[in-house]
Structure formats: C-alpha cells, structure tokens
Amino acid sequence: MRIAMIGGGYVGLVSAACFAEFGNQVSVVEIDPDRLAALRTGRIPIYEPGLDTLVADNARAGRLSFGSDIADAVTGAEAIFIAVGTPPRNGDGQADLTYVHQAARQIARAMGDYAVIVTKSTVPVGTSRRIAEIVRETRPDLDFDVASNPEFLREGSAIGDFMRPDRVIVGLDQTAPDGGARARAVLSALYRPLYLIEAPVLFMALETAELTKYASNSFLAMKISFINEMADLCDKVGANVHDLSRGMGLDGRIGRKFLHPGPGYGGSCFPKDTLALTRIAQEAGAPTRLIEATVGVNDARKVAMAGR
C-alpha cells in the first residue's frame, strides 16, 4: 500500500518506518529544511532505540522516502496520515490545531483519487470532522474519508509499541453513507500484519477514538498523582510507600505500572493531555473533577519536591 505521512517528527517518523517495515511504500513530508536534510542523509534527528537502523534499512529497500512536497507524497496514496505538532495554546491548555488544519488544506489541494485522511496527532474531540469540513471547503469534488488513529508510543520503546501494541484504536465516520466501511477496509489491510499476531484492532466512532487517547494518558497521570499522595501519607503515618506500591501493584486489577512515587509526571504528553482533557470536558459541560485534581496534585508535588 502507498502511504503519505505528513510530519517527520517523533510520531510521524516512527510510524512511517514501522509501516514501511510492514512492506508499504511510505513517503514522509517534512518542511523543516534542516530536519529533511538530516533524514535524507540517514541522520535521525531524534533518539529512539533501533529507529536509525529501521529507517536506513527501509530507505535502502526503497520503501521509505523523504521530501517536502505534499503533492508528490499524496499522489496515489491510499492512506494519508497527519502527524504534525499540536502544542498547547498559551493560557487555556487547548491543543493548537493550526498545523493540522494547514495540513488538511494542503492535502485537499494535492489529492486526486480516493484516499483515507487519518489523524495520527493527538487532537481534541471533533477534530476529524473539522478536517473533513476543511477538505470539502477546499475541494468539494474530492472522494475521501477521514479516520482517527491515535498513537500510544512510549519514548524508548516506540518501535516495540508499534509492532506489538496492546491495541490499535481506529475511529471511523460511522455517519457516512457506508458507515465507514470503505475506510475500514483500507485501514484493516494496512494493519493486517498485526492481525496475524492477534493484536486487537478496535474500530469505533471518530469521537470515541479521539477521546480514548486523552482518557488513557489522563488515567495514567492519575495513577502517578495517586501514588504520590500515598507517599505523603506514608511519611506521616510511618508506612513504606515502596512496599505499599508493590502490595497494590500485584493486584491484577490495578497493575504495577505508573505506581512509582517521585516528583510527578512531566514530559511532552501527560501535562498537555491532562490540561486538554479538562478543557474539553469544561466546554462540554461535564467537568472531569478527578483529572482536575490530578493536575493540582502534580503541580503541588513539584513545588514540594523543589523545596526539599
């Protein structure tokens, strides 16, 4: 299958290399000239174990290429992935969709035959439908579907997470005349190698897929804030939080991951996604008080740790 990946950052590059490893023809669009030059010469601008070898092998085999022209990448592609940045807006925590909307317009201008436009970036609920609106406004004549396929990659184990995932989430436009059947057929074929290892590929509504990414990361952040509150309580009552963590984590209903006390969560995902989810919930009139508390506990934890 021919695939276009719009965005050669962390998510786009890992996804493109793994799709190429599945045997697909993948064209990555990267507009940053320095990053593009590095990719074309085999220098990977991010660190991820095994990624340099995976990129080099598939580029050498002719399955993975890099360019700056969306039209070249999109021509003949059956699936077009948007994997551009969605940084938080200053002040309100909502995702900035400027690059996503820009990519949608550029894709629409370049498209020819039918393709599925797939959002890989982490985006608020309703973004996939907005992408469909932008494409129709730009090119009313186009034959296309939209889908949501959020990533669940962990830094340091991203290739394994992609190749052997806990699950793959795919959102379809179930209100389309065919109920999303044509898009489902394309993405089922794309993920066929994962069916062979019995990895769950879950098809659902667009909105559900978009929300699943935020809900998953926010739940993990909540576990971190919970164990940090337990650490504070252990200090007060003379208990050992590490023994408590093991005692809880061996319960299969709870699990051991993300139950390690420390300075709180950080990085590029959890802070952004928890704030975005609280914003989405507030705008929908269904505030997520647990997630709001999670953010508050995390902020307080960092201040407390800095003062020790």
Q: Is 259 annotated as a binding residue?
A: yes
* Catalytic status, residue 18: no
Q: Is 258 annotated as a binding residue?
A: yes
Active-site residue (options: 132, 147, 269, 291): 269
Q: Is 167 annotated as a binding residue?
A: no
Q: Is 155 annotated as a binding residue?
A: yes
Q: Is 266 annotated as a binding residue?
A: yes
Q: Is 219 annotated as a binding residue?
A: no
Q: Is 144 annotated as a binding residue?
A: no
Q: Is 35 annotated as a binding residue?
A: yes
CA 229 → CA 218, 219, 259, 273, 287, distances in Å? 16, 15, 11, 21, 22
Q: Is 152 annotated as a binding residue?
A: yes
Binding site listing: 35, 86, 122, 152-155, 213, 258-262, 266, 272
Binding site listing for NAD(+): 35, 86, 122, 155, 272
Residue numbers annotated as active site: 269
Binding site listing for substrate: 152-155, 213, 258-262, 266
